[in-house]
Structure 1
Amino acid sequence: MGVDDAKAAGARGDAKASLGGCGPLCRRICAFMSMWLGMLLLLLGVWCTHLYRRFTPVYRPIECKLEAPTVERVWFDHGFTGMHFQLITNTSCHNPNPYSVVLNSTRAANVYMGQERAPVGTIKDIPATSLPSAGAGWMAANITITPTADVLMSVFELLAAGQVPLYMESNMDVEVDIDFLFGRFSSSQSFSKDCGMGFRLVGMRSVVGPMACADTWEQLDIPEMGSDATGELALSAAAMGGVGDIERAARLKNITLGLGMGVGYGLGLALLACGCLGVRRICCDRKAR
């Protein structure tokens, strides 16, 4: 019985060894792998925290400034009935967000002249502009205006009294594409404003005043010629009607980055603790020898 008991005890010991571990080398590998994986997950948690703070809030309004338009040239085809003049408008925009934004004009905009806002031209083929993260960019538009004979008659009357109002529609799309590491959000919102400026003939030169914009024609107040007024636009989520999309982006950010922080910190600390316990056990085993 003594021999049989010894064999049974040895078998049980082998079984415990096979179930409880794979030897000192395997325990060392598992301990150090747990520590390395735990540290990597902690770094993931730190990076997700950085991204969370970086993308909070998800969208900050883009500030645009309307520069004073310039008259490129004036020419006539058939006397005054064939009058044309070309304007160049420039808009500078600053993007405070930590991601690039694309401003794209996808719809043709009409140009009007006079108090009755008679149509005299169309703005189209405006190139898209990319605003880098925390950077600025420009949007330029070439506008060719061809007044009709009736419009010219009223224009000459207005020129005798002062400036002639020029009105134009401003239509642009704001496109964003945000990478939240574990999720991606893309959106395109339309932004429309009614803009205007003053126009005057000084001798043989054409002069335009500063531009201003408003939500409607009725709210638009065109600055006087020679004033120092600078038109400013804020491309906010409320102005573009994209509050719902911004809220969806914020939820996506909270879910994806929150999950990354939870897994990174929670599982990372657990694996790091297991690895430290494993290293401590190895050290104790060595001392016991």
Structure 2
Amino acid sequence: MARTCGRACGMALLVASVLFIALFGYTVYAFAKYTPIYRPIQCESLWSRMGGIETNFETMTAGTTGRSQKLCRNPNPYPVTVRQADEPAAGTVFVRDGADLKEVGTSSIDEVHFAAGGSANMTANLKLELPAEEIFDLALKDKLQAVATFKALATASIEYLGLWVDMDLIEDQVCGFEVRLAAQQVGGAACALSLDRLVVPSIDNPKVYDRLELSPENRQSRGLLKNAFLAAVLVTTFGLALGSGRFGATALRRARGGEGARGAKGPEAAQGETVGKDAVACMGPSSQTEAKMEV
């Protein structure tokens, strides 16, 4: 390649080498930027409200609704959207009845968008509905421990070279909170990936802090995918930068060497032609004729 590539080709290869070096550096920056692949979203409770118990005498059921909101901050360098994955179906709400969980209603979360490094409010909705006799029995208790289960879908939008790639992650969420039905109070909720890791906060705790985490399996699989892609780009750009730079430099050296050889040969050839013409001019007409005949 270097034998047939001229000056213009050599310059083009050197420019390509510089571009590949720049892409290599950008990929190193992206690797550091997205490592680790996910940092837990940090949340703190803001407020919780619960309505009064309403009775449906036709069905002899009674129920109530509640809402709670928490302020969450996304520490990741990319935007994240969180919504309920099992819509239009809702999650399930249980209350602890001794060692058992009794189903008492449904739960849902509103879709929320977090900018990169930004904050937003996450709102959870609660709906309880039971036979009237059962719900009034629950209302007589000082407080109840409730557990809501649902699937959360988190969509992370990751940017590379101006291109955005959406990465969807589905996690089972288990959230616990305490309720006083008679007083129409609901406490702040704390969430975990499984029931055995859940710690239900007290309703008397004014502030509840928790995190939206990824399971170890999801975190590892997404991290390996990111590492494999960026490592492949790093190896490819490094090889292309090295190869194009080497061939470009060789081509330029050969081009300069050829120009130097032609420049050195030019004056000698011109001097030879001048000497020949002077010798012919000094010869007489007869000598010139003889010289032509001899030729």
Which residues of 2 match residues 18-97 of structure 1 at below 5 A?
27-57=6-36, 59-65=37-43, 67-71=45-49, 73-74=51-52, 76-78=54-56, 83-97=62-76
Match of 2:80 in 1: 101
SS at match of 1:74: coil
When residues 286 and 133 of structure 1 are mapped into structure 2, their CA distance, relative to the original with a 3 A threshold, is farther
Structure exhibiting the larger radius of gyration computed from Cα positions: 2
Instruction: Give the paired residue count.
Output: 256
When residues 165 and 179 of structure 1 are mapped into structure 2, their CA distance, relative to the original with a 3 A threshold, is same
Match of 1:254 in 2: 231
When residues 66 and 193 of structure 1 are mapped into structure 2, their CA distance, relative to the original with a 3 A threshold, is farther
Aligned partner (choices 225, 229, 238) of residue 203 of structure 2: 225
Gaps of 5+ in 1: 1-19
Aligned partner (choices 141, 149, 163) of residue 143 of structure 2: 163
Identical aligned residues as a percent: 17
Deviations 1:80-105 (A, max 9, x none): x6543221233444333333333231
Letter in 2 for 1:131: F
Letter in 1 for 2:232: I
- Asked if structure 2 preserves the Cα contact closer than 8 Å seen for 1:61 and 1:234, the reply is no
- Asked if structure 2 preserves the Cα contact closer than 8 Å seen for 1:213 and 1:231, the reply is no
Equivalents in 2 of 1:168, 1:283: separation in Å? Answer: 81
Matched, 1:118 2:118: no
Deviation at 1:247, TM superposition (A): 1.8
Gaps of 5+ in 2: 268-295
SS at match of 1:247: helix
Match of 2:116 in 1: 133
SS at match of 1:225: coil
- Normalising by the residue count of structure 2, what TM-score does the alignment of the two structures yield? 0.69
Deviation at 1:110, TM superposition (A): 0.5
Equivalents in 2 of 1:141, 1:224: separation in Å? Answer: 18
Letter in 1 for 2:189: M
Letter in 2 for 1:109: G
- Normalising by the residue count of structure 1, what TM-score does the alignment of the two structures yield? 0.70
Match of 1:270 in 2: 246
Equivalents in 1 of 2:245, 2:92: separation in Å? Answer: 62
Deviations 1:103-146 (A, max 9, x none): 2311221012353543222124x443333333333432322222
Letter in 2 for 1:121: G
